[in-house]
Structure 1
């Protein structure tokens, strides 16, 4: 039967099953949606079974379609990897997308170590607040801020982060207890999951009226705090370089309640975990986080006055 089925029909089926849309499959394959639909109907006729349940707005795999996709998806993944390995004359490209502040503050400064450990890999790093869309094959993995909701992705927690007030040593001289923050310029990162009112509540205080600067990225809030603008409520992971160099300290370390939460996650399509480049990156970032966590107590001590 295989000899009677055009590979183009299998390709159309795999793209539609992977994206969940005839239209998205058509865009990917540079065809019209009607051409994709026709190819799949011909495939269903040849196989004598229905592969998709169709409605006005969506398509969904039947049990037979899901069974075929398990094999077809794996076959096309293997084919893509084979083409990359055979056709790639230079380093293998790993396409990474990341939340901007994590990319700027934590990931980018470490990438040289990853490339030194994996000389046959080349990394393309992009950063934005939008989540990567894997169905267009632009990225291999994504580091996102906030809990991912997709059930079709492999999700790896990047561990807890400590959120605490941070400022320059000069400003810290005026801060002895949490209430001393009421007289300071409080810097806000608007997209941060942990905000000032939550920190004040955790320390038994009502939140004061905040008239300080607002930024939409943590790396901007950290930069402004480093310049002496005021006090920022930020992750010690994202501010680790500024803490290590003494530009920022935690004036209330050991004298207040900090907030710990999981902020970042590494996500990628489950099929990608079979790729050596993706496995290498996942293993490397886990090792880097473990090493960073072992230094966290030192950094927190360094952050004190």
Structure 2
């Protein structure tokens, strides 16, 4: 079917769908509105379906039109980016998907540094708990929480994270040993791989019955702990800004057993590792994490 459809008709469809107007599409393509309308009607006839609902003042995509636009829009976006890269003009777009708490607490605050080091790159960042589906070509790289899924991908572990109780300095005054936590409000992050019962077990204690607040994101648990609600069991990597500013402290540092594990991974298709944008991001994030970890260890040694 593709061979029987002029590329000009698909181009007219994509422009009209993106702008929501045959007139705007015509202006963009340097055509007349009637030429755009004719091209789209020919496309509809060839496909034996209706792509737009038309009225006197506007046009709107039908479900079939929305489906086609998902593919046509991505195709033209990729074509535009490819031509820009080959011609060496304009920014190269890097589409990053990321676990929400890592995005909010660690990645987003550092993106300005990455873009300053890579001025020819443009980053589009999206955050959700879903895994990016590279087969849809929606994203170039993904920072996932937990063991990555899928085949044919390059997987880069993003180093160990330390999980420890964190609270405000005022609350920390009454915590001298792990058992002191029994009298505190313990904040739970439901989707975290390391839970309170595992931390208490690592410290030779049976976990108490935990009542109180629970959240489904680490960045919310960290915010609540910073406000003085209670004690959160969180990654010092995700809470590094709050720790650096003194909003949160680790009351049992050096007096308890912390849980260390690899929580986040960088994932991208193996076929993409030769792309300069993907390679630059992978090198930057691993280097930045190594530097951050080194600074953290230095601070801990000084504090001791």
| CA deviation map 1:208-234 (0-9, x unaligned) | 000021000000000000000000000
Aligned length: 234
Q: Which residue pairs with 1:167 in the alignment?
A: 167
SS in structure 1 of the partner of residue 156 of structure 2: strand
CA contact (8 A) 1:246 1:303 kept: no
Q: Paired residue for 2:73? A: none
Alpha-carbon deviations, 1:258-294, whole Å to 9, x = none? 0000000000011110100000000101110110110
User: How high is the TM-score relative to the length of structure 2?
Assistant: 0.72
**Partner Cα distance (1:85, 1:168) in 2:** 49
Q: Which residue of 2 aligns with 1:275?
A: 275
Aligned residue in 1 for 2:232: 232
Confirm or deny: 8 A CA contact 1:244 1:299 kept in the other structure.
Answer: no
Kept in 2, the 8 Å contact 1:191–1:217? The answer is yes
* Contact persistence 1:95–1:123 (CA under 8 A): yes
CA contact 1:163–1:235 (8 Å) conserved in 2: yes
Is the contact between residue 94 and residue 123 of structure 2 (CA under 8 Å) also seen in structure 1? yes
TM-score by length of 1: 0.72
Q: CA deviation at 1:301?
A: 6.0
Does residue 154 in structure 1 map to residue 163 in structure 2?
no
**Compared CA separation, residues 301 and 248, structure 1 to 2 (3 A):** farther
SS of the residue corresponding to residue 155 of structure 1 reads strand
Q: Report what 1:100 is aligned to.
A: 100
**Structure 1 stretches lacking a partner, 5+ long:** 1-5, 9-29, 31-77
Cα distance change, pair 193–83 in 1 and its aligned pair in 2 (3 A): same
- 1:302 deviates by 8.2
- 1:21 maps to what in 2? none
Provide closer, same or farther for how the CA distance between residues 131 and 162 of structure 1 changes in structure 2, counting only shifts above 3 A.
same
Secondary structure in 1 matching 2:238: coil
Alignment partner of 2:103: what SS? Answer: helix
**Residues 164, 250 of structure 1: 8 Å contact kept:** yes
C-alpha separation in 1, matches of 2:216 and 2:79? 42
Query: Could you tell me which residue of structure 1 aligns to residue 202 of structure 2?
Result: 202
| Structure 2 contact 84–90 (Cα < 8 Å) conserved | no
Q: Does the 8 Å CA contact 1:162/1:259 hold for their aligned counterparts?
A: yes
Structure 1 residue 303 displacement after superposition: 8.3
CA contact (8 A) 1:189 1:218 kept: yes
In 2, the alpha carbon distance for the partners of 1:230 and 1:303 equals 24
The 1:111/1:127 distance shift into structure 2, 3 A limit, reads: same
Instruction: Give me the whole-angstrom Cα distance separating, in 2, the residues matched to 1:117 and 1:234.
Output: 30
In structure 2, stretches of 5+ residues that fail to align are 4-42, 44-77
**2:220 aligned with 1:220:** yes
State the 1:298 CA deviation. 3.9
